[in-house]
Structure 1
Amino acid sequence: MKQLEALKKRLPPGIDIRINSKNVITFRARFRRTGHPDLMKTFADAKAAKGWLNEQQRNLDLGIYLPNALASKKTFAEAVTRYYKEELPKKGN
């Protein structure tokens, strides 16, 4: 248990340790930002969880952040319509 507590202290905010009924340790990353829905994903190791959190923050900083929940609500027809209206005029001819 002491090792588990020491590991918890080394993890960055947003990553929790979870132990399932088979005593398997997993790491749950939670990306939370004001004005955006929470995103959560579970990983087998802490390094992957940290990488995912960094990727979500980088996407938000670059302005390409689109949560999976919002992306899955878009239909293909809506995506094509948006492309025709917003992206195609930028391309010219």
Structure 2
Amino acid sequence: MTAPTIHPTALDCGESDLEVTGNLMKFAVTANVLGFPAISVPVGYDKQGLPIGLQLMGRPWCEATILRLAAAIEQQWNEPKRKPVIYFDVTKGK
């Protein structure tokens, strides 16, 4: 599943789409509950220009393996990363 579209009104009052949230979190919940190391790696963009991430999950206590694999995947991805049309830098605040 690619990134869902964020509607402009969601920036003012929030958005709750349980079906989309459930699909996005389907495998992350398992990793969190069981303590498996996991990471999402950017691997491209869909036809609408929305980002696609590949989730990697490993055995408990194998964080180094997951990080090495994620770094190798990112090095193979030659396409430059794009900043979204709607972007908010959380490090700078409002």
Q: TM-score range by the shorter chain?
A: under 0.3
TM-score norm. by structure 2 comes to: 0.26
The structure with the largest alpha-carbon Rg is 1
TM-score norm. by structure 1 comes to: 0.26
Tell me: higher relative CO, structure 1 or 2? Use CA pairs within 8 A at least 6 residues apart: 2
